[in-house]
Amino acid sequence: MAERILIADDDAGLRQLLQDILEEHEFDVITVPSGEALVRAAVSQQPDLLLIDVNMPLMDGLEAVRQLRNDTRTSHLPMLLLTARTQSEEVVIGFESGADDYIPKPFDADELVARIKANLRRQARVPILNPLTQLPGNKAIADEVERRIKSHEQFGLLYFDFDNFKALNDVYGPARGDRVIKLLANILQDLHAAAQSDDIFVGHIGGDDFIALTPPQTMERLSNEVIARFDREVLAFYDPSDKQRGYLRGVDRFGMPRRFPIVSVSIGGVTNDNRAFSSYEEVAAMATEMKSYAKKFAGSSLAINGRTRDMPVAPDEDRRGQPLTIVVVSPEPLLHEALQPLLSDGRCRSIAFTAVPRLQEIVDQLPDLVTLNVADPGCWPMAVALRESRPALPLVIASPHSEDERRAWACGAYAFIAEPFPPEYYRACVAQLLRLNERFPPTDGSP
């Protein structure tokens, strides 16, 4: 059977050229014109390899790779980037997004085919067991789920994924990150061994993603045991000062300084006791959806078939379609004006104060995020008061002086921006802190 290659490129001429080259080498080729179409086709068409152009409108290739790596149905696929940007920094960004290889433009047809074949051979040699944890990998997981579906067994599937793991990896290095991954693997293996049951199956998808199959009636108990033990033992992987502070200082993907909480684990669960599944892909799709729902809550969290255990709602939790409230305290209107693209489509509303108000005036607005411009010195005590009264509220501090950054972190800022700064930089910061694209998918390419 011919191996299937899925190509995503917004240039129709280049798509046709790539298709012609690959079909000459007897590949089965599917082409799509955008990142959004790529994400859909990767799930529905079951390709063996993805060839992705980086520069596409709306959703670029890097964002498409990130989404595909975060989906259990596609996370294992080889993904090759087709890019004209070959500077080392750009290549690193591509690899950090989850790409396996990159092909520079203009490309040589023979080299293109050789790289594709090499990545397919590498994928074919992927071991049944994950080399880091020695747990069953993707193929074994899919086979086990398919077996249970065909035998009409009642089962639950739990999908485990870390929160804030990249920050730990960046600050302490991948060796310590691997130890945290092995911690969760050991916890799952211990629970499996203690259960002494063939009904439980534990697998490692890759990276920080794990799967457990278990009888439906034991899903919640097993998940709570995992959360309790992981939350207790993960603290050992933090330096004493970071552990005492309760967060790491790092840089987000926009290059902006941020505070990242202690690594936690989000768990999405689905069962077939009230519905029938026809394939592993269908089970994985719902588990991914439940995992994404669990991530909306603060700290380690669990969502099974849409139900959640009692836990605090994250500060930026979606209020079911209601616009999010941004309070801006600034003596000049630049910050408020910079938000206009986020306000124009109804995702957010902004309330501006040109003078520092009373604390209660801000709290009464039920803000989802507050920005303080400390060009007005009165904003410093307001930052302290907000942190004491609303410790989980995302707080952005802007300043005309870069040397204020240390003080901003001491006041509990989630992000610090030194003026002058481009308006799109501030908007990107706000959009990320409020997870706008996750809860209100953009239709016009705006952040």
DSSP string, 6-50: EEE-S-HHHHHHHHHHHHHTT-EEEEESSHHHHHHHHHHS--SEE
Q: What angle do CA 219, 224, 230 make, to 5 degrees?
A: 125
Same domain assignment for residues 304 and 275: yes
What is the spatial distance between Cα 381 and Cα 174, in angstroms, rounded to a whole number?
39
Same domain assignment for residues 142 and 286: yes
Same domain assignment for residues 57 and 83: yes
Mean pLDDT, the chain, integer: 84
Per-residue model confidence (pLDDT) at position 89: 54
Residue 445 lies in a domain: no
Cβ neighbours of 158 (radius 10 Å):
26
Per-residue model confidence (pLDDT) at position 380: 94
Number of domains in the chain: 3
414-432 pLDDT, tens per residue?
888 887 777 888 888 888 7
* Owning domain of residue 254: 138-308
- Domain boundary residue among 96, 124, 152? 124
Q: How would you classify the pairing of strands 369-373 and 395-399?
A: parallel
Per-residue model confidence (pLDDT) at position 181: 94
Q: Which residue has the higher pLDDT, 366 or 226?
A: 226
Cβ neighbours of 24 (radius 10 Å):
10
Same domain assignment for residues 151 and 294: yes
Helix, strand and coil content of the chain, in percent to the nearest 5, comes to 45, 20, 35
Q: How far is CA 337 from CA 77, 256, 395, in A?
A: 43, 20, 18
Q: What is the pTM of this model?
A: 0.51
Task: Report whether the peptide linkage leading into residue 420 is cis, meaning its omega lies within 30 degrees of zero.
Answer: yes
Residue 182 lies in a domain: yes
Q: Assess whether pLDDT exceeds 70 at residue 252.
A: no
Per-residue model confidence (pLDDT) at position 446: 42
